[in-house]
Amino acid sequence: MSIANVVRDAADKYGPSVAVEDNERSLTFSELSDRVHQLAVGLDNFGVSRGGTVLVLLPNSVASVEVDLALTVGGYVRVALNPRVGERDWARIEQDCAPRALIFDPRVEGAADFASRSTAKAVIAAHHSNNARTTLEEVIADAPVGVSPRTPDPASLCALHYSSGTTGVPKGAQRSHTNRLASLRAMREHVLEDSLDGPEPSVFIHAGPVIHTSGLFVLPFLEAGGRQVLLDHPRPEDMIDAIETHGGTHTALVPTVVARLLDFDDVQLGPMRRLRMLAYAGAPMPVEHLRQAYHRITPNLVQYYGMVEAIPPLTVLSAADHRRGVAEDADVLSSVGKPCEGVEIEFRDSGQTVPDGLIGELVVSGPSVSPGYHNAETRTDLGKSHDKGLLHSGDLGFRATNGYVHLTGRSKDMIITGGYNVYPREVEEEISAIPGINDVVVIGLPDPLWGQRIVAAYTVESTSTIDEPSALAECRRRLPDFKRPKSVHHVDELPLTPLGKIDRVGATRLLEQLTQKATG
């Protein structure tokens, strides 16, 4: 099995049907396959040899899908740049990976200037640009006809996925063809399950970045003959409209977006109830938000967990699990589900496996685990470690006796106050359950008496009138004394990463400022 086979087989089975579309154009399965294979062989004409690294700076679009598939089919190593992080991080990543080529969209803010300074030998624009030697269309048109690239070795790399190290300098996790095919199988068998079977055609709405978690659905939907609609940074209301307009049946969101959807009334959320699957990933979702989403948006919720160093899904909390959790066993909703087939997970403390129910560091192995980091020998800030096929994740948690995996937080985020270990997630869960409270983040700040003191920032629903004294009183009622925040702060919004997750570094700075202001 190879990704080239997935693309070709989809063209053979579903040829004239629309495979992908954005607000400018669409491609059928046949057109997509032809363009992907022409681009895969055409890049060689521009000095990009097999195995070469290619930077990609594209928004959610048809081009982003065809470029991703072409690079994978052709045996190149894709490095996707997030359009929202800006030139400083783009330049750092370019310096680290030394790309042979850059493919960019000049309409992305700052992209043309970045391209003009790029060190890549081949600079290719998705649309005409004075900063590029050629365009994607020209590369495809100039490609030799009837030539197919050799199928890459499964162990070879297909991508570097960058995230920030503990110093804030981007680090590149290697991803192999084996990793990506393992994800395809697990997405098909554990996340999508039978949701693709329905009276209407399956339509996936890419509301999140296709270079991130939403992109995990590209191959499964190609394989199944589903249509994919790409939205570029939609607002929640735009996403609801797109589901109604395009007949969306599936989508994937980060929990912060789900929380924003809950601010809409039931009439506005009406189109969402047609979804046969709403997947969420990237961060924990408070149990109270899950209950509301189940009843008000769709009961067809699916959670999957993974990381850049171990391609998702590693574990899945299925739609059936959500039904069980809402109806009879709420503890299930606070988990990340059970491991997928082929994924081995254990929890360790001081190098020893701990029994079920006890907290340890999550250690994972299997075909989903990255081979390692790019330039790992030069880095001291990687955060996670690879050892003989084992990935020590830095995530803390435990396996319950019923087999469900629970995460309590990151080891670096754990708060030690008065000699007690407090995991931010368990405090955030309790605060999120207070009526009227929306997003919340809990951190530990230095304290001369307690070592660290617990502080929290939260946002509220649009109709909420809860104030800080009331929120603090509720915390005191719901939490034991050593887990209670010393202060809580109502804010209009919490700092988010470019991928929509709560930015704990930014939240720490914010809470430091709010605490200093409150204490004079």
Q: What is the DSSP string of 338-398?
A: EEPTT-EEEEEETTEEPPTTS-EEEEEESTTB-S-BTTGGG-S--SSEEETTEEEEEEEEE
CA distance 337 to 315: 6
- Local confidence band at 167 (pLDDT 50, 70, 90 cut-offs): low
Read off the pLDDT of each residue in 496-516 and give the average, rounded to a whole number: 87
458 CB burial (10 A radius; 0-12, 13-18, 19+): buried
| Strand partners of residue 451 | 447
What pLDDT does residue 379 have? 77
Kindly give the pairing relationship between strand 227-230 and strand 203-206: parallel
Terminal-residue alpha carbon distance, the chain: 64
Give the residue carrying structure tokens 């055609």: 201
Asked whether residue 377 carries a pLDDT value surpassing 90, the answer given is no
Retrieve residue 496's tokens: 């988010």
User: For 2-6, 145-149, 267-271, 453-457, which range has the lowest pLDDT when averaged over its residues?
Assistant: 145-149
- Local confidence band at 165 (pLDDT 50, 70, 90 cut-offs): low
What pLDDT does residue 493 have? 93
Q: Give the mean pLDDT of the chain.
A: 93
Percent of the chain with pLDDT over 70: 99
| Radius of gyration for the chain, computed over Cα atoms and rounded to the nearest angstrom | 23
- Local confidence band at 520 (pLDDT 50, 70, 90 cut-offs): low
Asked whether residue 381 carries a pLDDT value surpassing 80, the answer given is no
What pLDDT does residue 484 have? 93
DSSP state of 147: -
- The more confidently predicted of residues 376 and 229 is 229
pLDDT for 182-227, tens place per residue? 999 999 999 999 999 988 999 999 999 999 899 999 999 999 999 9
Read off the pLDDT of each residue in 43-60 and give the average, rounded to a whole number: 92
Of 68, 69, 104, which Cα lies nearest the Cα of 83? 104
CA distance 313 to 258: 19
Give the residue carrying structure tokens 């997630």: 425
pLDDT for 239-251, tens place per residue? 999 999 999 999 9
Read off the pLDDT of each residue in 476-493 and give the average, rounded to a whole number: 92
Asked whether residue 166 carries a pLDDT value surpassing 70, the answer given is no
The CB density around residue 116, as the number of other CB atoms within 10 Å, is: 12
Asked whether residue 305 carries a pLDDT value surpassing 90, the answer given is yes
What pLDDT does residue 173 have? 94
pLDDT for 404-438, tens place per residue? 999 988 878 889 888 778 888 889 989 999 999 99
Reported residue count of the chain is 520
CA distance 52 to 100: 6
- Local confidence band at 46 (pLDDT 50, 70, 90 cut-offs): confident
Asked whether residue 383 carries a pLDDT value surpassing 70, the answer given is no
pLDDT for 59-74, tens place per residue? 999 999 999 999 999 9
CA distance 394 to 310: 12
- Which range of 184-188, 348-352, 389-393 scores highest in mean pLDDT? It is 184-188
Q: Determine contact, residues 445/456, Cβ cutoff 8 Å.
A: no
Q: Determine contact, residues 190/215, Cβ cutoff 8 Å.
A: no
- Local confidence band at 164 (pLDDT 50, 70, 90 cut-offs): low
Between 287-296 and 424-432, two packed helices, what is the crossing angle to 10 degrees? 40
Asked whether residue 367 carries a pLDDT value surpassing 70, the answer given is yes
Percent of the chain with pLDDT over 90: 75
What pLDDT does residue 192 have? 97
Of 446, 445, 414, 432, which Cα lies nearest the Cα of 479? 432
pLDDT for 104-116, tens place per residue? 999 999 999 999 9
What pLDDT does residue 504 have? 86
